[in-house]
Structure 1
């Protein structure tokens, strides 16, 4: 019987740092250090560096000209533009997917939608549960 591969340290760091940023525990514009991120994620600084690169690509963390790390601070216009573009892309992808979806997949989407609704209805909203879907 084959054992499941355990998650890589950089994947653990990525998940924990991403959750730290998206949960609101990190303020927009807040400076971050590799040492702080290593403590948050429970891994050494080397996997944190790889995780930070991924988060920079997702524009959740930005690096200044002096190479310091900060939580991205998006303006309302930036966010609005991202949602418009994302809506266009996701609408196109959903249209293509709908042509090939099975009944079982529709049921699974309904289950996930219910979980997302429940996470949003919590007071305060359960960001962790929302992002897990």
Structure 2
């Protein structure tokens, strides 16, 4: 019973954080069943604690794609935080490669939803 009550308190104080970004697939195309090298598999969203979410490419991405998004639910710790986003792909031999990170910072407060945009 104690665990369940603690879970309820955490959920009551958790905050929804929405992230949005753009990506130009004309520069680096999305990986497909037939394109498995020199391509983008998707994205990873992280903070200082590690990976928060793995986001797949949007359906049939070609050219410039605006407003790709994901939502997380964030619990403590609150306060100033920096989030990073990388494109995850495969190089010419199929090895994983990450883009340089794009970062965004915000003050996260319990019960105060955030909408953040990566540059």
Above 0.5 in TM-score? no
What TM-score results when the alignment is normalised by the length of structure 2?
0.22
Higher alpha-carbon Rg: 1
What TM-score results when the alignment is normalised by the length of structure 1?
0.21
Higher relative contact order (CA 8 A, sep 6+): 2
Between structures 1 and 2, the one with greater strand share: 2
